[in-house]
Amino acid sequence: MDPRPLHQWTVHQLLEGLGQGAFSAQELAQHLLERIQAVDPQLHAYLRVEPERVLAQARQADRRRRSGDRSPLLGIPLAVKDVLVTRGVETTAGSRILQGFVPPYTATAVARLEAAGAILLGKTNTDEFAMGSSTENSAYGPTRNPWNLDRVPGGSSGGSAAAVAARLAPAALGTDTGGSVRQPAALCGVVGLKPSYGRVSRHGLIAYGSSLDQVGPIAQDVADAALLLQIMAGPDPRDSTSLDTSVPDYRAVLGRTIQGLRIGLPQEYFTGGIQPEVDRAVRAAVAQLEDLGATVVPIRLRTLEMALPVYYLVATAEASANLARYDGIRYGRRTPAATVMDTYRRTRGQGFGAEVKRRIMLGTYALSAGYYDAYYLKAQQVRTLIRQDFEAAFQQVDVIASPTSPTTAFRLGERTEDPLQMYLADIFTVSVNLTGMCAISVPCGFDEAGLPIGLQLMGPHLGEERILQVAYAYQQVTEWHRRCPPSASPEQEQAARTRDSRP
C-alpha cells in the first residue's frame, strides 16, 4: 500500500485503494474532513463543508460497494465551485445577493458525478459571479495560494484550485469563462481543463457569460482530469447549447505516442509583459515535447491583441443581461423599501460587489442605444476574426502551446486598484473561450520564489483527445505535477494544529 497519507493520492489511486479494500469511503471522507479543518482556516478555499452530509454519503458508498456496485467514482469526495447549484446545499456564487439561497436542483455536471458515485465534499470560494482573476472579489473574503499565503490563487475558480493544490480535495470542479479554470490551476500548480463549448452541460451553472461559460475539472494530474471529463461530458436536453455528439473515450488516448504531432508555438504569446521565468519554463516544456517526437512549428496569431478588449465587451454585455434576474423579489437577498423600484435599487446596490457593478455598467453601456453597433456588434465581428485566425492555425498544427498566465501568482491586493492589470492576467486564456475551443493547463516549473508555472495546450473545438494525449505524455517524463505545497505536508499540518491549539 502507498505509504503516503490519503490526501496525497490521486483520484485513480484512491479508486484502486477503495476497490482493494485498503480503506473505506468513510475513512477517506473522515481523513479529508479532518484535514480541511486543520488547513483550510489558513487558505479559505471552502465556503461551506457539511461533515454530516459527507459522512452519510460515504457510508452509503461503502454499502453500495459491498453490494457489488462498481460505479466509476464510488466513494470519491470532490469539491465544487460555488457557482454550480447543488440541491439542499447553499449556493451563493460568492455574492451577498444570493446569501442563504438553497437550490431545489443540482447542476447536470455535478449530478453526473454524483450518479457515478462521487461525494460532494464542499462548495469552494469564487470571485463573485465568477468575475475576477484572483478570488479576491468574493463577498466572503479571499482565498490564499497554498504555495505562498501572501499570494493569490488565481481566479475565478481559486477556491477549487487551492483546495486541490493543498490536497483538501483529490479533485474539484471549476468554471471557465475567460480562463477561470486554467489560470488558477497554473498559479496553484495543478491541472485545469477547459472543455470545448457545448461539450459539458451548463444546466445549473449560474451564468456569467452564456456564450463563454464552460464547466471543467481541476485535478492533480491529467488522468484524473480525463476521467472527470468522461463522466460529465455529453448532451443534455436541459441545455440547448450542449452538443448532441458522441463522447470519445478520453482515457484511451492516454499513453499514446506524440511522435509526429505538430506543436504550434505562437510568436505573439512570447513578447513583452511575460515574466522571464515563465518564458523559459514554457519553452523548456515545448522542447521536452520535441524530445518526445513532436515537431515544433512557429505560427502567428495576430489577433491576440484584440482578444482581451473583445472578451470584456462580450462578457460584460452578457453579464448585464444575465444578472438582471437578481432583483430581490424571486430569490436571494431582499432589502425592503417603500416602492418596488427602490427595493430593486437597494437590493442590487447592497447585494452586488464593486467588480460586479463595474462589469454590469460596462455591459449595459455597450448594449445601450447609440453604442450597440460601435461596441457590442463590432466586438462580435472581431470575435469571428479571432476564430478564423485559430482555425487557420489548426490547419498547420495539431496543438498550440503557450504560457497559461504571463506571470506567476501575484500578491494579495497588488492589482485590486488597477482593473486593467488584473484583466491582463487572462490575456493568454480568453481567446479559447471566444472561439469555443478546448485547452488544458499543466504544471511545467517554478519561478525563483517557488511559485508554480503553467503550460497551456490549446486544441480545436472538440479536440480534447489531442490535448489530453500531449499533456499526459508530458507528465510521464516530468515531475512538476507531483510536487505539493508546504501546506500539503504532514509536518506543516501538525504545526498548524499545534498553533491553533495554543491559548
Average pLDDT over residues 12-31: 98
Task: Please write the tens of the pLDDT for every residue from 157-170.
Answer: 999 999 999 999 99
pLDDT given at position 487: 67
What is the number of helices (H) and of strands (E) in the chain? 16, 11
Cell of 475: 507528465
Residues 153/146, Cβ–Cβ less than 8 Å: yes
Is residue 498 over pLDDT 50? Answer: no
Average pLDDT over residues 346-366: 96
Name the band, by pLDDT with cuts 50, 70 and 90, for residue 258: very high
Total-model pTM: 0.95
Average pLDDT over residues 37-55: 97
Q: Which residues pair with 443 in a beta bridge?
A: 454
Cell of 47: 465556503
pLDDT given at position 331: 82
Report the C-alpha gap between 294 and 300 in whole angstroms.
19
Strands 399-403 and 262-266: parallel
More confident residue, 81 or 500: 81
User: What proportion of the chain, given as a percentage, has pLDDT over 90?
Assistant: 92
pLDDT given at position 488: 64
Is residue 228 over pLDDT 90? Answer: yes
Is residue 317 over pLDDT 80? Answer: yes
Name the band, by pLDDT with cuts 50, 70 and 90, for residue 94: very high
Whole-number mean pLDDT of the chain? 95
Residues 236/242, Cβ–Cβ less than 8 Å: yes
Average pLDDT over residues 215-228: 98
Is residue 493 over pLDDT 50? Answer: no
Report the C-alpha gap between 353 and 95 in whole angstroms.
7
Name the band, by pLDDT with cuts 50, 70 and 90, for residue 329: confident
Cell of 261: 504531432
Strands 119-124 and 46-48: antiparallel
pLDDT given at position 486: 85
pLDDT given at position 489: 58
For CA atoms 37, 84, 366, 195, give the dihedral sign: positive
Is 6-304+381-501 a domain of CATH 1.10.3080.10?
Answer: no
Name the band, by pLDDT with cuts 50, 70 and 90, for residue 497: very low
Instruction: Give the active site residues.
Output: 81, 156, 180
More confident residue, 391 or 344: 391
More confident residue, 316 or 338: 316
Q: Which residues pair with 166 in a beta bridge?
A: none
pLDDT given at position 105: 98
pLDDT given at position 199: 98
Task: Please write the tens of the pLDDT for every residue from 107-129.
Answer: 999 999 999 999 999 999 999 99
- Minimum mean pLDDT among 192-196, 333-337, 391-395, 435-439: which range? 333-337
pLDDT given at position 450: 98
Tell me the CA distances in angstroms from 64 to 19, 57, 70, one per residue in order: 12, 10, 8
Name the band, by pLDDT with cuts 50, 70 and 90, for residue 495: very low
User: What proportion of the chain, given as a percentage, has pLDDT over 70?
Assistant: 96
Average pLDDT over residues 213-219: 98
Average pLDDT over residues 144-163: 98
For CA atoms 192, 193, 194, 199, give the dihedral sign: negative
